[in-house]
Chain A
Amino acid sequence: MPKLQSLAEFEQWRVACRAQRDPDRPCLAVCAGSGCTAAGAPDVLAALRKAVTRAGLEGSVDIKSCGCHGFCERGPVMLVWPEGTFYNRVAARDAGDIVANVSNGRRPVERLLYQDPITGARALREDDVPFYARQQRILFGNNGKIDPTAIEDYLSVGGYTALARVLSQMTPEEVVDEVKRSGLRGRGGAGFPTGQKWEVMRQQPGTPKYLICNADEGDPGAFMDRSLLEGNPHSVLEGMIIGAFALGASEGYIYVRAEYPLAVKHFRIAIAQAEEHGLLGQNILGSCLNFRVHLVQGAGAFVCGEETALIASVEGRVGEPQQRPPYPAQRGLWGKPTVINNVKTWASVPVIINRGADWYAAIGTAGSKGTMVFSLVGKINNTGLVEVPMGITLREMIYEIGGGIPGGKELKAVQIGGPSGGCIPASLIDLPIDYEALTEAGSMMGSGGMVVMDESTCMVDVARYFMEFLEEESCGKCFPCRKGTQRLREILTRISQGKGTEEDLSLLEDLGWVVRETSLCGLGQTAPNPVLTTLRYFRDEYLAHVREKRCPAKVCRELITYEIEPTLCDGCHACVRVCASDAILGEKDQVHTIDGAKCIKCGACLEVCQPKAVLVH
């Protein structure tokens, strides 16, 4: 297809794309996100293709491989359009029935519908499933409808209309003003108002100007940015092109983690398609806007999420942060004015332009507008990606969307914001999720990782885990972060081994305060958060470790012992077979015992014991 030279040509093409999409034609949309792929989505897709061919329905039933639908726990998941029938835990052997039912009066395959674990009722569509019912998916909603590698699909759901509108009806100042009025704040972590950042950038005299999309999603336990890039890359690209128009930027970069090969592939395809159709390059859609986008792959460094470190990495150097000011908007990439925004921030821009700042600002709370995407993981029934309006409470997130804690266990804490965030205790479950409320509770919004922990999670162990991560990821440039994270980790390790003292707790607090106040960049400044919040809310648990040398959650290896309860043991020998250190004694059909001197506390016996006779003290 030739390059589009004007807005009129774009409109013609858009109408043609829409017309090509027959609203009544059945379409089987299978989630091909990372979770569903690992759960077997490629086999399902292949089986569906075969079944369609066998039924002679080629050309009358479409099959799409889509981006992440969010409900990873139930993968592979799929939707059958136009009805929007939602199937979960689909296997290749179900393909025949799915296709047969589509051609035969479009009846749903009952057994593949989501079943409520309590009432047993089946849900027909996504909106009938509690996991989806409370969500408001303005960024992720199209993931289940489009093939991310087809620009025509994006157009058919209204893609690039925001860009056309900006080019035809708005001045750059009006675009900045619209973003400002929407109340959008940076979705990467710090929550700086996007419109304000853009305004500072516009006022800078230097040229050329650059803009960067930060897709270096480093928080362990977070995969929202990846899913958006994999599932709807054009929405991010459209936001960047609108940003280029508003900010006068001529070059853009997207910095993606190399660990996300599918996101890299889909975004490269999106760039190539946009260039081919004249949505990138010289005189975009016949306007005076010139803009190119380059993709740079990150090489695995958590600190590169920090904007000055990211810039250093794009320039090919080690990702060490710089002192700010000057801010990147003043002196950024190659010393030129640069604006950096997160993936979700860019993807929010077309939505704001299309629906209007007032519509967007009506969602959320006084200080936090719009929706936020979380990856809800850990000890939770419904693991997955959720997009919710700001201000929703933790209770709604965990019990209504998340379906509660598995095994009837008690909620203990929620870790929000990754290693830079903090642990919110179960007692604050009615806390609304917005920037200010989370900061006040000692945590932060971060980029949206939400890890749920239950009574069997040890908070000292969690703090030690994060500190180990941060010690590894500290770039080493400034002393407080380099040495502080190391010392904090050493003290936490000591406590988890039962060698800590009460003085260690105040030492943790003092040291945490110093690291927070004196580190160069955001990594060090937020590094003590997991320690300080767990100390603030779970002091008793720390005290049990140092005073009684006891781990209440029975996690810290040095403080627990394994034992077999003789009245429960049925002598099945399963534990004896898996024991790595030959520590379990006893003949088959006789009660077994554990030799404490030999036991390495690996827990293998606990995993295999059917009558649950292995006890941890």
Chain B
Amino acid sequence: MSTSPNSEEILARWPDRAEHLIAILQDIQEEHHYLPEPALRAVAQRLRLPLTEVFHVATFYNCFTLEPVGKHLIQVCLGTACHVRGAPRVLDRLLRDLKLSAPGTTDDFEFTVRTVRCIGCCGLAPVARVDANTHPHLTQTKVPGLLKRYRRQEAAQAAD
């Protein structure tokens, strides 16, 4: 098993220039699935930027998050095509079944629900992406089965 690179290793991949700030944050996000505060401090120090500016960029762009995410990331597409084909009902059902009042992470850190605007599979609307898998033609009655499948997968891995 490989050890995950820390922020210093990621920083070492890039020249110490402010123009690479977004790319560096993207690498950190890819590694940890969120931006941990110590990493933001390290980036600010290395690029000689005020921490406020790093924070400004980290909170401006949608792809960054400052909160840790659950084991499975569910991205519900709310693009126009998905919206008119019923995505809001799918999202409502998902939140209800996971006992969330708004998109976010469940208490047991199993699932994080996020909404995205268009993942470019409009022909299969409404869609959601769970981890790397795209699930087409969703309806709210398919939601319980979908969650069950990922929970079972989790259980199977734990048993191995």
Where the two chains meet, the residues of A that have a C-beta atom closer than 8 Å to any C-beta of B are: 34-35, 37-39, 72-73, 75, 218-223, 226-227, 258-260, 296-297, 299-302, 313-319, 375, 377-379, 383-384, 415, 418, 449, 451, 453, 457, 462, 465-466, 469, 475, 578, 580, 602-604, 607-608
In the complex the two chains form, is A377's CB within 8 Å of B122's CB? Answer: yes
Q: Min CB distance, B155 to chain A, in Å? A: 24
In the bound complex, residues from chain B placing their C-beta under 8 Å from that of A316 are: 17-23, 57
Give 21 pairs: A residue, B residue, CB < 8 Å, sorted on A.
Answer: A34-B120, A39-B136, A73-B123, A220-B78, A221-B81, A221-B122, A226-B120, A299-B26, A299-B61, A299-B64, A302-B117, A313-B22, A315-B19, A316-B20, A316-B23, A318-B56, A319-B61, A375-B122, A383-B123, A603-B140, A607-B139
B125 touches A223 (CB 8 A): no
Q: Which residue of A lies closest to B139 (CB)?
A: A607
Known contacts being A38-B127, A457-B84, is A383 close to B120, with CB within 8 Å? no
Per the bound structure, the CA–CA distance linking A453 and B80 in Å amounts to: 10
Within 8 A of A (CB), among B106-155: 116-125, 127, 134-136, 139-141
* Docked-complex contact A220 and B123, CB < 8 angstroms: no
Please give, as numbers and ranges, the residues of chain B lying within 8 Å of A317 by CB-CB distance: 18, 21, 57
CA distance A312 to B84 in the complex (A): 34
Q: A316-B20, A318-B56, A603-B89 are in contact. Are A223 and B120 (CB under 8 A)?
A: yes
Q: How far is the CA of A34 from the CA of B85 in the complex (A)?
A: 19
Q: A300 with B57: in contact, given A451-B81, A602-B140 (CB under 8 Å)? A: no
4 closest cross-chain pairs (CB), A and B: A72-B123, A300-B62, A299-B61, A221-B80
Given known A-B contacts A221-B79, A457-B84, A301 and B60 have beta carbons under 8 A apart:
yes
What does the 1/0 interface line of B44-86 toward A look like (CB < 8 Å)?
0000000000001100111110000000000000111101110
Query: In the complex, are the beta carbons of A377 and B80 less than 8 A apart?
Result: yes
What DSSP secondary structure best describes chain B's contact surface?
helix
Report whether A220 and B79 are in contact in the complex, using a CB–CB cutoff of 8 Å: yes
Looking at chain B, what size class is its interface with the partner chain? 35 or more
B146 CB → nearest A CB, Å: 14
Q: Which residues of chain A are within 8 angstroms of B32 by Cβ–Cβ distance?
A: none
Q: For B127, list chain A residues within 8 Å (CB).
A: 38
Residues of A within 8 Å of B79, CB to CB, are 220-221
CB distance from A472 to the nearest CB of B (A): 8
Distance of A466 Cα from B19 Cα, bound (Å): 32
A319 to B20, CA, bound (A): 14
- Tell me how far the C-beta of A529 lies from the nearest C-beta in chain B, rounded to whole angstroms: 14
Cα distance A86–B92 when bound, in Å? 39
Whether B80 pairs with A259 at a CB distance below 8 angstroms is: no
Which residues between 1 and 28 of chain B lie within 8 Å of chain A, taking CB atoms?
Answer: 17-23, 25-26
A204 → chain B closest CB, angstroms: 22
> A314 contacts which chain B residues (CB < 8 A)?
19
Q: Compute how far the CA of A616 lies from the CA of B85 in the bound complex, rounded to whole angstroms.
A: 17
A415 to B79 Cα, complex, angstroms? 13
Interchain CB contact under 8 A, B20 and A35: no
Closest to B30 in A: A258
* Alpha-carbon distance A218/B122, docked complex (angstroms): 14
Determine the residue in chain A with the shortest Cβ distance to B134.
A38
**Is the Cβ of B22 less than 8 Å from the Cβ of A607?**
no
Is A379 a contact of B120 with CB atoms below 8 Å? no
- Residues in A with CB closer than 8 Å to B56 are 318
Report the bound CA distance from A37 to B17 in whole Å. Answer: 38
Contact call A453/B84, Cβ cutoff below 8 A: yes
Which residue on chain A has the smallest CB distance to residue B132? A261
Could you tell me the distance between the alpha carbons of A255 and B123 in the complex, rounded to whole angstroms?
25
The distance in angstroms between the C-alpha atoms of A220 and B118, with both chains bound, is 5
> Are A379 and B92 CB-contacts (below 8 A) given A299-B63, A465-B80?
no
Known: A299-B64, A300-B61, A316-B21. A223 touches B118 (CB 8 A): yes
Contact between A418 and B80, CB atoms less than 8 A apart? yes
- With A and B bound together, what is the CA distance between A610 and B16 in angstroms? 63
Contact, CB under 8 Å: B23 / A297: yes
CB neighbours of B141 from chain A (8 A): 578, 604, 607-608
Residues of A within 8 A of B63 (CB): 258-259, 299-300
Are B124 and A72 in contact, with the CB atoms below 8 A? yes
Q: Inside 8 A of B124's CB, which chain A residues have their CB?
A: 35, 38-39, 72
Q: Would you call B93 an interface residue if the criterion is a C-beta within 8 Å of the partner chain's C-beta atoms?
A: yes
Distance between Cα atoms of A453 and B85 in the complex (Å): 10
